Amino acid sequence: MTFSSPFDWDILPIYVKIPAMNPLPIDPLLPQIVEALDKNHCAVVTAEPGAGKTTRVPPALLTAPFGKDREIWVLQPRRLAAKLAALRVAEEMGEEAGKTVGYQFRFEKRLSPSTRLLFMTDGMLLPLSQNDPQLSKVAAVVLDEFHERSLALELGLAWLRRLQLSTRPDLRLLVMSATLDAKALSAYLSDCPVLKSEGRVFPVNVEYLPQPEKRDLDQKVRSAVAQLTSQGVDGTTLVFLPGMAEIRRCQEALKKTDAEVHALYGDLPVEEQQRVLRPSNGRKVILSTNVAETSITVPGVTAVVDSGLTRQSRVSAWSGLESLVTVPASQASSAQRTGRAGRLQAGICLRLYSKYDFDHRPSFDLPELMRSDLSRSLLDLKTLGVDDLENFPWFLKPSSASLEAAINLLKKLGALDKGEKLTSLGRRMVRFPLAPRLAKFVLEVEKMAPQGSHALSNACRLSALISEGSSQDLLEDLHRFKPGFESKRIEEQVAGLMKTSPPTSKVGVKDQEILSKGLLMAFPDRVAQVREGRSSETRHRDSHTRELILCGGGTAVAQDDAMIRENEYFVVVEAQEVGPKAQVKARSLCPVEADWLLDLVSEGLSEEKTCEWNAKAGRVEGFKRLTYGQLVLDEKPLSPGDFGEETANLLYKQALSTGPSAYCDEEELGNFLNRARFAAERAGFPALTDEVVKETLAELCRTCRSFEELKKAGLVSALRAKLEPKNQALLERLAPSRTTLPGGRSITIHYEEGKPPWAESRLQDFFGMTSGPTVGGGEVPVVLHLLSPAKRPVQITSDLAGFWKNHYPQIRKELSRRYPRHKWPENPIS
């Protein structure tokens, strides 16, 4: 099929004929896009902002041969973009939305049996596919603004590609964006054509703050708007802000300006959106979230004020629940914002941050697939029959660790069986507009509470409260919780699935118990116990916090309030890391009872006997413990008969690491081993190696529990007992430990490695001896340390006869003068 340029609307069926439409830059490319999809089944389109791809390409596909009598689906990352695009296309067709063109996203839809062009948020694809896994009525799916790399777009592309490669080879896929990696996408889609359209882009002068400012954001915005006014910039100024809180503060700050001030955000009613986007003759300021970055054309924009901030969906690593966090916008996002001012004429963009800041920002946002919990996504895929995740045609494959963590969580919640197959519980969980944990929570409450009960109604509301985020005491917050737009819709949808009404009274004690048990079943791996007393860290950090021991390991801190003081165990529903040391701070808590762990989540319990080393007492202590992960629920000391090999091993390990001085007389052990070593140097005596010593120590440890008992057991005695009787006698003959002098004094013989044996005593004790004692069977003379009456060294010798003859006469004179009361004979031998 061929088309004239820019676009031959006359060939369209009568129901899509559009009178007097303004031409857009994308129009000349439409015939090529349709032809590419007709021949290749896939195509990639890149088009500058303002080219008209979102509103012109999808209706053009209705006229293609493959689109006859079938639907065209368009996936958008944001609800407002999906809604406004549908309204715009319907208006250009001269119809109301809900006829040929419709839209659908969570909590809102406008369509009919005659709808053939359906704009939807990307998160709707997998849920809608569950009703018709083959997408039998769909001819083509357009994935718009793919550069945003939302998790739902990534999964949607992979799911559609799987269909295309298997049961739906006729399905057409078109990926569109202003900025994307077209080459990689083309390769992924079997080297499909890449078509590019230029937009109507005028130059935009970009100005930065010369240096970072500490002023509040609303004051920066007010200054920027005043600067544009002073420069004579007319028309519409589009201000990009991260969220509603910032929009409200800026509305207050701009009250006195002479321009119209409007807000633009996702939940804005249709009538208000149309009023905001209506062209204006005067000066207008539109305070917008990042919904205006792409897909939505804001007419008359001549200036952009960029806060440099954006809200990104992040999934808590702790709870697996989604939340919005404020982060710096990427360079690509900043470029998209700047381009809003160059649609109709040259414009200006004031960036409320420095050039240095911009240059050091990431080029693109990290794909959501790489920073999200995948449990909900995998649950959707399992429902659609995707069991082989390894060979699933991912465009960007998540890490094995992320996939494994999601699978393990779904198993823990009972959504998958051991073979990773979807269970009946999992099939029910997937129907809820909730994270898997919260779906599990509501279904567990349903088991414990009758249908229509206050407990079940409050469970629906609590699931909305947790989805929105809350403060520390969940059940206390529930009493005064007033659902906002989003959370109210969640509550209504969950209540509808549970066939119950909103709660009409406060949560009673019995209902609180049911809700707490339900949360325990949904967060079984998030149980914590209050640590008794205060740790050194919390004592020095903050006297208003208490430390919690986490069942999965590690600790967290919580505000020290009445709830913490009155309970011991909690489910930590949400926590976050704060401070430079990444301290975990518990944000949402619910008290639970220890008995519930035994009754409800017993698979996490274990009974074990443990032995621990008490360094202060120098002993092994044993306990019989009932644990839940790292939490000790009950502990009793082991009886003596319960100690076994583990005790011996632990005592032996500590003995080796501490050293001999802890469990024996180190001097006695050293002397005995040196005697044995000396004897082994003579023929016939076995060597006492280090291995023999360790073996003997290990044997002693089997009958002992402490260093004190080891000392009493006597390592030296045990080593001596290992010698045969003949070797014990041989040791005494070759290396006696003592010898007796003629005068009757017994002295110790010392043996040291690398030195000859030696003994010491007073010089007078050796009077009458012509030679000193010997060892080694009489072969080795003992070195004598001769001492004065005051036991001070006088002489060292192994030749006693030579000493008497050569040295004693002179030494005698000195000793006689120092010690006159002692006898110093001239002939000491007689």
Summarised one tens digit per residue, pLDDT across range 637-692 is 887 667 788 888 999 999 999 999 999 999 899 999 999 999 998 878 888 889 99
* DSSP, residue by residue, 527-555: EEEEPSS--HHHHHH-TTEEEEEETTSSE
Beta bridge partner(s), residue 323: 314
Mean pLDDT over the full length of the chain: 87
Reading the block at residue 185, the tokens are 């996408």
pLDDT(50) > 50: yes
- pLDDT value of position 543: 59
Confidence bin at 407 (pLDDT 50/70/90)? very high
pLDDT digit string, tens, across residues 220-270: 999 999 999 999 888 899 999 998 889 999 999 999 888 889 998 877 776
Confidence bin at 96 (pLDDT 50/70/90)? very high
Distance CA 311, CA 323 (A): 10
Taking residue 714's Cβ as centre, other Cβ atoms within 10 Å add up to: 16
Mean pLDDT, residues 197-212: 84
Mean pLDDT, residues 38-49: 91
pTM: 0.71
pLDDT digit string, tens, across residues 703-734: 899 999 999 999 999 999 999 999 999 999 99
Alpha helices in 233-314 (DSSP H): 244-253, 270-277
Q: Is 365 helix (H, G, I), strand (E, B) or coil?
A: coil
Mean pLDDT, residues 346-360: 93
Strands 569-578 and 583-592: antiparallel
The domain ranges of the chain are 9-197, 204-365, 370-429, 436-598, 737-830
CATH architecture observed for domain 204-365: 3-Layer(aba) Sandwich (3.40)
Ranges 33-37, 112-116, 337-341, 533-537: which has the least confidence: 533-537
pLDDT(58) > 90: yes
Nearest Cα residue to 816 out of 808, 824, 827: 824
3-state secondary structure 404-462: HHHHHHHHHCCCECCCCCECHHHHHHCCCCCCHHHHHHHHHHHHHCCCCCHHHHHHHHH
pLDDT digit string, tens, across residues 408-458: 999 999 999 999 999 999 999 999 999 999 999 999 999 998 777 889 999
pLDDT digit string, tens, across residues 773-817: 999 888 899 999 999 999 999 999 999 999 999 999 999 999 999
Ranges 9-13, 24-28, 795-799: which has the least confidence: 9-13
pLDDT digit string, tens, across residues 100-109: 999 999 888 9
- pLDDT value of position 7: 37
Q: Is 264 helix (H, G, I), strand (E, B) or coil?
A: strand
What is the H or E stretch that residue 774 is in? strand 774-775
Identify the CATH number of the domain defined by range 9-197: 3.40.50.300
Cis status, amide bond into 591, omega within 30 of 0 = no
Name which residue leads in pLDDT, 492 or 541: 492
Q: In this structure, which amino acid lies at residue 36?
A: A
Long-range CB contacts for residues 678-685, cutoff 8 Å, separation at least 24 = 678/734, 678/735, 678/751, 678/757, 678/775, 678/776, 679/730, 679/731, 679/734, 679/735, 682/734, 682/776, 682/777, 684/730, 685/727, 685/730, 685/731, 685/734
Q: What residues contact residue 518 under an 8 Å CB cut-off, 6+ apart?
A: 441, 442, 444, 445, 448, 459
Q: Do domains 9-197 and 204-365 have the same CATH topology?
A: yes
Strands 793-797 and 783-787: antiparallel
Burial 83-112 (b: 16+ CB within 10 A, else e): bbbbbbbbebbebebbbbbbbbbbeeebbe
| Lookup result for tokens 């049911």 | 514
Q: Mark residue 330 as left, alpha or beta (left: phi above 0; alpha: psi -120 to 50; beta: remaining).
A: beta
- pLDDT value of position 20: 42
Beta bridge partner(s), residue 591: 570
pLDDT(541) > 60: no
Q: What angle do CA 100, 60, 183 make, to 5 degrees?
A: 130
Name which residue leads in pLDDT, 602 or 144: 144
pLDDT digit string, tens, across residues 456-478: 999 999 998 888 766 668 888 88
Q: What angle do CA 47, 52, 58 make, to 5 degrees?
A: 100
pLDDT(179) > 90: no
What is the H or E stretch that residue 262 is in? strand 260-264
Distance CA 442, CA 459 (A): 6
Nearest Cα residue to 439 out of 457, 425, 453, 452: 425
Ranges 145-149, 284-288, 371-375, 532-536: which has the least confidence: 532-536
- pLDDT value of position 470: 62
- pLDDT value of position 697: 94
Distance CA 109, CA 165 (A): 30
Backbone angles phi, psi at 325, to 5 degrees: -125, 150
Confidence bin at 5 (pLDDT 50/70/90)? very low
pLDDT(830) > 80: no
Q: Is 240 helix (H, G, I), strand (E, B) or coil?
A: strand
- pLDDT value of position 15: 31
Q: What residues contact residue 236 under an 8 Å CB cut-off, 6+ apart?
A: 280, 283, 284, 285, 286, 298, 299, 300, 301, 302, 303
